[in-house]
Amino acid sequence: MRFYEFNSLKPQKPLTPAQARMKSLKDQAKRAQAAVKSERARQKIQAGQIDLAKLESAKKMTSNSYKAQYKMNNAYTSWMTAGTYGNFNDALAAALRKKKAGAIVVRVEDGNKAVLFSS
């Protein structure tokens, strides 16, 4: 600020008791709103953490199974299953055998239907 700008500032007069009460109530309302907002955010985070824990525990309960799938004639046909395997390497080997036998597209899915390998 420049020196002449200090002259334009007027000193604040003390608040009357009624004005001080109003100001304190407004400040209290703002603090309460902020507390409600933060509590809602905390509860939302906690609910998300609970949902995530449920998903992770359900994921652990599913057996590790992998499907080798292929499309033989063209890319617009439905996926055909070459087999279900207990580990990824066996499923991958089966998919690659199908690819070598003439399949156009092969893939390996896990038990949650996520594609782990595609070629």
User: Residue 54: what pLDDT?
Assistant: 86
Query: Judging by DSSP bridges, how do beta strands 115-118 and 66-71 pair with one another?
Result: unpaired
What are the strands, taking DSSP E only, across 1-119? 66-71, 80-85, 105-109, 115-118
Where do the structural domains in the chain lie, given as residue ranges? 14-61, 66-118
Across all residues in the chain, what is the average pLDDT?
Answer: 88
Cα 61 off chain centre by: 21
User: Residue 63: what pLDDT?
Assistant: 62
**Model-level pTM?**
0.48
- Residues with Cβ within 8 Å of 92's Cβ and at least 6 positions away in sequence, in order, are 66, 68, 108, 117
pLDDT in tens, 65-99: 899 999 988 888 899 999 999 999 999 999 999 99
